[in-house]
Structure 1
Amino acid sequence: MSHARAGAAHEALIGRGVLVNDEEGLKVGPEGLAWFRWMGIDAGEVANGRRALCRACLDWSERRHHLAGALGAALFEWVLALGWARRVPDSRIVICTPQGEASFRGLFE
C-alpha cells in the first residue's frame, strides 16, 4: 500500500471508530471487530501471534501514521490479494494499482 494511502486509511479508520487512539495507544474501537470481520479479517485469529494486535507506526517519508501490528499486516495482505497494490521486487516499495486507487477512494475517503 502506498505511504499516502496507508496514512489516509489509518486516519479514516480512526474517524469511523474502527480504531481508537487514546493515552494507552492504538486499539480496536467499538466498530472495529465488525468492520474487520466485514473485510474478511478475524481480529481474534490474527491476535494469537507474537505481534501486537494493532499499533500506530509513523511513516518517515509521509510523516503520517499507518496501521501496524497483526491487523495492519492482515489488512495489507488483503489489499495485495485483491490486486489493489503490488510489491516492487527486491524493494520495500509498494505501488497502488489503478483498481486499488479507485477502491481506496471508495472505502477510505
Structure 2
Amino acid sequence: MDAKRLEAALAEEFGGTDAEQRVVARQARDLADSGKPKRDRGHALTVPDVLRHLSDAPDDASLPERWNWWMGALDTAYGGYAPFTVRVVEDDGTAGVNR
C-alpha cells in the first residue's frame, strides 16, 4: 500500500483536511501491512479498493467517518477490524486508535 498515493487519491475523491487524509492513509497502510484483508477477503488491500469501499459510505460522511463506516462493515463481517478505526484526528495527522 502506497500511503502517499492513497493520500492524493483520497484528497481528490473525498477532500477533507491534510491531517484526515494522512491518518486514513496511515490506517490503510497499517491494515494492509497486517495482512488481514488478504486473509479475510482473498486479496491484498489496494488504493482502488479503498476508494471503492469508501465511496459506498453515506454521502454526507467526512473522510474519517467513511473509513470508520467501512471498518465497521468489515468488523461485522470478519471481526478484528476495530483496532484500525480512527478515533481522533490531530492537527499533525496522527490518530487516536484502539491499538
Band the TM-score falls in, shorter-chain normalisation: 0.3 to 0.5
Query: Which structure has the larger Rg?
Result: 1
Larger strand fraction of residues:
1
Question: Normalised by the size of structure 1, how large is the TM-score?
Answer: 0.32
Question: Normalised by the size of structure 2, how large is the TM-score?
Answer: 0.34
